[in-house]
Amino acid sequence: MPTKIKPPRILFWITLSALLVISLFVCYSEKSKLPPSIEITTRNQPTLGYNKAIVHVVVFEELKCSNCKDFNSEIFPKIKKKFIDTNKIRYTTIPVSFLPGSMPAAVATLCVFNEKPLYPNPELFYKYMDYIYKHQPSETTDWATPERLNAFAKATSPAIDLEKLDSCVQKEKFRVQIQRNTAYGKQLMNGTISTPTVYVNGILVNEMTYKEIKRVIIEVLEHEGVY
């Protein structure tokens, strides 16, 4: 019969197994590679979590941006519960200011953080920032006045020295640092800064959902062998 031949069956099976092995190998070796990362310096920035943690999450935040508000109310508590409180990661916030009128708010958070210059207080910083986000007025209003920031601080915690805060905000003591942060963020993000922006060990997280951030954190933890 001309349409039938003795088929090369052994060769067929050998090829099939070879292709299977190669595919599995490629999948495995690609899975163990991490996406490209950048170097980020976080000296003197408010940081939470175990200070020797291998995985370091860095977030750029703008006090007036409403996406940052959502990030802090929806996503941050979950990250805190799952990764920070369990000493899996270090978590740093780099406050920036590029929306009109947000500078006093950004300065105020650093004033609270550095109230005692030798003993910066990240817990208080995060508490204050959380309160500001929870009561954040609309992005279009010019709400970040020294009076408003003082009232927010008063409601946040009695631990904040309101007089010190007021003079610190009036003097814009941390304006230069905020400007430096903003310029730094711009440089890292290739010219256009956007917030919130999350980096996990320098790897940019592309989608601002808890699911995606968690996925990248776990990927890096697994890569470092600490998950």
Partner 1 sequence: MWIKRYGLYFSWLFATIGTLVSLYFSDVKNLEPCHMCWFQRICLFPLVLILGVACYRGFLGISRYVLPQVVIGLLLALYQIAVQEIPGWNPINICGAGPSCAKKILIGLGPISIPMLSAFGFFLITIFLILTWTKQRSES
Binding site for partner 1 (CB under 8 A): 2-9, 11-12, 15, 19, 22-23, 26-27, 30
- The string over 13-40, giving b where at least 16 C-beta atoms fall within 10 Å of a residue's C-beta and e elsewhere, is eeeeeeeeeeeeeeeeeeeeeeeeeeeb
Torsion of CA 80, 191, 138, 111, to 10 degrees: 60
| Least CB distance to partner 1 at residue 13 (A) | 9
| Least CB distance to partner 1 at residue 5 (A) | 4
User: What is the C-alpha separation between 81 and 109, in angstroms, rounded?
Assistant: 22
Q: Are 94 and 42 in contact (CB under 8 A)?
A: yes
| Least CB distance to partner 1 at residue 212 (A) | 13
- Between 157 and 206, whose beta carbon lies closer to partner 1? 206
- Between 3 and 141, whose beta carbon lies closer to partner 1? 3
- Between 28 and 119, whose beta carbon lies closer to partner 1? 28
Angle, CA of 65, 68 and 71, to the nearest 5°: 155
| Number of Cβ atoms within 10 Å of the Cβ of 5 | 7
| Least CB distance to partner 1 at residue 96 (A) | 29
- Between 19 and 162, whose beta carbon lies closer to partner 1? 19
- Between 4 and 211, whose beta carbon lies closer to partner 1? 4
| Least CB distance to partner 1 at residue 47 (A) | 32
Backbone angles phi, psi at 7, to 5 degrees: -75, 150
